[in-house]
Amino acid sequence: MTSIIILGVVVLVLIVILALVYSQDYANFINRRRGRLVTFTQKKGKDRRKTLRLPANLDIKYILLEKENAPKISQSYNISVGGAQIIIYEKLKKSTRINMEIEIPYQPGLVRTVAEVVWLREKFSLSLKQKRRVFFAGLKFIKINPHDEAKLLEYIYATLP
């Protein structure tokens, strides 16, 4: 009789553990959806940013202003009303200006802005066969329509926990 009770308790504990693991995996899956807040952490030390920055994975299309070239596809790593950090596959010089189009989830139209590269860091290179380098670029928005700025601000504050 006691072995049946012990077995029942063990099964119950296993079910609770599986439920907790599944619920955490499900929450992580939901948070990974495009454009959703993944984490929001406060950095230690002095932060020089003037606006709130949201970690967000948004689709971006950009064109270099100095050259006539085809639009390139990218994604944001984080974004604020004043700028963004994006993932790119080419080395850009500091002060390079680009035209950007940012797709905001669940909102019609694109946010259009002119941005300037303020820093660039190479994160890693993919396989030697692909010969593709990956960079994080810090951008400052230097020209943005007030309507687009309001749309971006609304998205940032609506997505925060």
Domain boundaries, the chain: 1-31, 54-159
Whether pLDDT at 99 is above 50: yes
For 52, the token pair is: 């709130």
On whether the CB atoms of residues 133 and 121 are closer than 8 A, the answer is: no
CA distance 20 to 26: 10
Residue of higher predicted confidence among 94 and 19: 94
Whether pLDDT at 58 is above 60: yes
| Mean pLDDT of the 22-33 span | 47
pLDDT above 90: percentage of residues in the chain? 43
Whether pLDDT at 131 is above 80: no
Q: Which of 63, 67, 49, 64 is nearest to 138 (CA)?
A: 49
For 102, the token pair is: 């940012």
Residue of higher predicted confidence among 118 and 65: 118
CA distance 68 to 121: 24
Residue holding tokens 């077995």? 7
Mean pLDDT of the chain: 79
Q: What is the pLDDT of residues 31-52, one digit of tens each?
A: 444 444 444 444 444 555 566 7
The region of weakest confidence among 20-24, 66-70, 127-131 is 20-24
CATH topology of domain 54-159: Thrombin, subunit H (2.40.10)
Whether pLDDT at 16 is above 80: no
